[in-house]
Chains A and B, each alone.
Chain A
Amino acid sequence: GAVVSQHPSWVICKSGTSVKIECRSLDFQATTMFWYRQFPKQSLMLMATSNEGSKATYEQGVEKDKFLINHASLTLSTLTVTSAHPEDSSFYICSAPTGDTQYFGPGTRLTVL
């Protein structure tokens, strides 16, 4: 099956700093990618849709100025958590569709101290 990678797999940062998370489709191109957030023992909540060549679409309640998304190429989307705070600590997961199926990255665990 298709492979989606994320980097880094985990990151610890100080409050107030920014953190960038990369999502790559390794063996296929994706004009659209999705970013999810997963709290402990909870489901995945869709944060935004990343669109290659255009602005991302954010779900209701997600601050677009805090979670900056850039879809730089057909295989790369980045999520930047700006001015991170402890409440932003979470597991961030990206996905990319190919055909009729979505493939998920392994996730990035962000801890903000």
Chain B
Amino acid sequence: AQSVSQHNHHVILSEAASLELGCNYSYGGTVNLFWYVQYPGQHLQLLLKYFSGDPLVKGIKGFEAEFIKSKFSFNLRKPSVQWSDTAEYFCAVNGPLSGGYNKLIFGAGTRLAVHP
């Protein structure tokens, strides 16, 4: 079965610091990869997604992620975080081992706190 690992459970940064959140998925052939964000009290929102093509994907709000197939990784990055980036970030994957390309398997999430 498909699984997703997010190694950083809790990250604390100061404003303007750079961010990188790790995400690794178990092998499963061709997969689609996603990063979702959940701001306090709000629903999940899609930050970015990778299906194919350029492994460096740019999303909303200045976020980007790089797909490295050899490492089964899809790390999320932002060069300079803001206080408003305080949220929980979830990596997700779908593919043949997740039960289909509509079925998302989520990582445990990373709680990011940005201090002014």
Number of residues of chain B lying within 8 A (CB) of chain A: 21
Q: Is the interface of A mostly helix, strand, loop or mixed?
A: strand
Q: Is the interface of B mostly helix, strand, loop or mixed?
A: strand
User: Could you say which of B23-31, B43-51, B70-78 contacts chain A?
Assistant: B43-51
Q: Are B42 and A34 in contact (CB under 8 A)?
A: no
A100 in complex: contacting residue of B32, B36, B99, B109, CB < 8 Å:
B32
Residues of chain B lying within 8 A (CB to CB) of residue A41: 111
State whether A42 and B49 are in contact (beta carbons under 8 Å apart), knowing that A32-B102, A93-B43, A106-B43 are contacts in the complex: no
Which residues of chain A have a CB within 8 Å of any CB of chain B? Answer: 1, 32, 34, 41-46, 49, 93, 95, 97, 100-107
A-B contact pairs, 29 of them (CB 8 A): A34-B103, A34-B104, A41-B111, A42-B108, A42-B109, A43-B90, A43-B106, A43-B107, A43-B108, A43-B109, A44-B90, A45-B106, A46-B103, A46-B104, A46-B105, A49-B103, A97-B102, A100-B32, A100-B101, A101-B46, A102-B102, A102-B104, A103-B46, A104-B36, A104-B43, A104-B44, A104-B45, A105-B43, A106-B43
